[in-house]
């Protein structure tokens, strides 16, 4: 990896507490029960006051988004991160050999890759790929695709653009399991420059050591736990069911079975084998139980999908609050930015000067399918300290108080004495 850039929207796109309230109150289909549900979800989500929403939602047009809204959203994210990436690395758009764009919910014609090629007048023989429907884990899938292509094509430059379309997919109905996405997903994205040119090794930030992809779509529960559907009233949204945590655990465990032998030292694997010899596994027991992942990994870059996701992964992997800090802070500051989220976490680590040459970074991503795509990077040089999107606020982090203002300001909504109230 030669470089990467994350997207940061303008301040007028911030969705603070009051902005969220205005958006919620515009939905006249909701009753007190739905408002209570939204309050509980927002309070427990782990998001702060400075996440960014799509412009059409900020302007009150979430129920009737246009094609132009979606294109404007994608253009802003893709082109701003690519402009910065080309400028910082000194690599010209005409030098790019491979281009991969992953956006799950927006697949226009011409494709988003063609839109980038047209904007930067890239070469006619560029190998381009547009990935859709892959959810939050798409960025790791795109990285793995590039890795496979690098085995066939030598001396290449590749770019991966990872983001998600929020503008046209703001849920405007009243089904609780579909409201969750509005509380978690925010605008964001990233562009990553990769190469297999040996003469550029000294310029690289990270080296990909291994990547493992797992898809358990054969399981009906897992397939349907995270899916785009229409509610009974015809409003399109993203359905998140209670089976999601179960599917995530199953996909993650299967992934670890393949990944851990590649990243842990032999002595740790032997120690684990001896410690479990003769013991019958407990139903639902995570594979990583009793394994010391820190014997082969120095940093943990987890998908900032929500506080519950972070808590669950942290517990199953035996991680400390120091290990989870970058993911929690990325979620708090930028929200769940889908496939682009991992790079905000990595950027936090770099801005906090945590990374040193030889360190191993374990990236964990989960997404619709249901998929678990993980990889391990090795830091190639000392002195990585680019603050990127954290430049104006890194000194304020980590935040000790992550309490959402909804907790106090709108606590009245949980008063059982108000059951008779109907909000018109």
**Predicted pLDDT of residue 291:** 81
Tokens linked to 61:
């047009």
**Predicted pLDDT of residue 288:** 46
Rounded Cα–Cα distance for residues 104 and 70 (Å)? 13
* Cβ neighbours, 10 Å, residue 420: 6
> Residue 281 CA to chain centroid, in angstroms?
32
Query: In this structure, are residues 247 and 296 in contact, taking their beta carbons and an 8 Å threshold?
Result: no
> What are the distances in angstroms from CA 148 to CA 10, 125, 292?
37, 18, 30
H or E, element range at 213: strand 206-215
**Predicted pLDDT of residue 234:** 93
Rounded Cα–Cα distance for residues 205 and 88 (Å)? 13
Q: Which residues of the chain have pLDDT under 50?
A: 284, 286-288, 420, 424
Query: In this structure, are residues 4 and 346 in contact, taking their beta carbons and an 8 Å threshold?
Result: yes
Cis ω on the peptide bond leading into residue 370 (within 30° of 0)?
yes
Q: Which sign does the torsion angle of CA 192, 259, 282, 371 carry?
A: positive
**Predicted pLDDT of residue 279:** 63
- Dihedral through CA 282, CA 285, CA 290, CA 292, nearest 10? 160
Task: Tell me if domain 3-203 and domain 206-399 are identical in fold.
Answer: yes
**Predicted pLDDT of residue 83:** 98
Q: Where are the domains of the chain?
A: 3-203, 206-399
pLDDT digit string, tens, across residues 328-358: 999 999 999 999 999 999 999 999 999 999 9
Rounded to 5 degrees, what are φ and ψ at 98? -135, 135
Q: Which of 382, 74, 42, 393 is nearest to 184 (CA)?
A: 42
For the purposes of burial, counting CB atoms within 10 Å of the CB of 128, is it exposed (0-12), middle (13-18) or buried (19 or more)? middle
Q: Which of 114, 41, 39 is nearest to 75 (CA)?
A: 114
**Domain spanning 3-203 has what CATH number?**
3.40.47.10
**Predicted pLDDT of residue 419:** 53
**Predicted pLDDT of residue 278:** 60
* Cβ neighbours, 10 Å, residue 210: 15
Rounded Cα–Cα distance for residues 337 and 190 (Å)? 10
**Domain spanning 206-399 has what CATH number?**
3.40.47.10
- Residues pairing with 106 in the sheet: none
**Predicted pLDDT of residue 250:** 92
């Amino acid at each position: 990896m030669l470089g990467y850039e994350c997207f940061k929207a303008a301040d007028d796109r911030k969705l603070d507490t009051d902005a969220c309230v205005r958006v919620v109150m515009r939905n006249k289909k909701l009753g007190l029960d739905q408002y209570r549900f939204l309050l509980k979800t927002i309070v427990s989500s782990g998001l702060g006051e400075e996440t960014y929403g799509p412009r059409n939602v900020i302007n009150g047009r979430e129920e009737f988004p246009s094609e132009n809204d979606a294109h404007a959203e994608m253009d802003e994210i893709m082109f701003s991160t690519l402009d910065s990436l080309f400028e910082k690395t000194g690599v010209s758009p005409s030098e790019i050999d491979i281009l991969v764009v992953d956006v799950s919910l927006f697949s226009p014609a011409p494709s988003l890759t063609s839109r980038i090629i047209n904007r930067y007048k890239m070469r006619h023989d560029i190998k381009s790929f547009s990935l859709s429907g892959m959810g939050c884990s798409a960025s790791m899938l795109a990285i793995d695709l590039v890795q496979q292509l690098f085995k066939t094509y030598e001396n290449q430059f590749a770019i991966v653009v990872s983001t998600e379309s929020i503008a046209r997919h703001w849920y405007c109905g009243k089904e609780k399991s579909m409201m969750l996405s509005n509380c978690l997903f925010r605008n964001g994205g990233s562009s990553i420059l990769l190469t297999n040119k040996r003469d550029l090794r000294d310029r690289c930030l990270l080296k990909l050591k291994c990547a493992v992809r797992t898809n358990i779509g054969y399981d009906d529960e897992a397939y349907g736990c995270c899916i785009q559907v229409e509610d009974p009233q015809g409003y399109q949204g993203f359905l998140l069911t209670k089976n999601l945590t179960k599917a995530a655990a199953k996909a993650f465990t299967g992934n670890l079975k393949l990944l851990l032998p590649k990243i842990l030292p032999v002595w740790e694997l032997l120690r684990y084998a001896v410690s479990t010899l003769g013991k019958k596994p407990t139903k639902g027991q995570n594979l990583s139980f009793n394994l010391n992942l820190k014997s082969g990994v120095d940093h943990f870059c987890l998908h900032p999908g929500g506080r519950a996701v972070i808590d669950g992964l942290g517990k199953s992997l035996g991680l400390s609050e120091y290990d989870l800090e970058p993911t929690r802070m990325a979620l708090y500051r930028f929200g769940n930015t889908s496939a682009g989220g991992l790079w905000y976490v990595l950027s936090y680590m770099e801005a906090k000067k945590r990374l040193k040459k030889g360190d191993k970074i374990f990236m964990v991503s989960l997404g619709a399918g249901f998929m678990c795509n993980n990889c391990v990077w090795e830091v190639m040089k000392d002195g990585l300290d680019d603050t990127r999107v954290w430049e104006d606020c890194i000194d304020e982090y980590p935040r000790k108080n992550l309490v959402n203002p909804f907790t106090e300001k709108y606590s009245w909504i949980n008063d059982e004495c108000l059951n008779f109230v109907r909000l018109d």
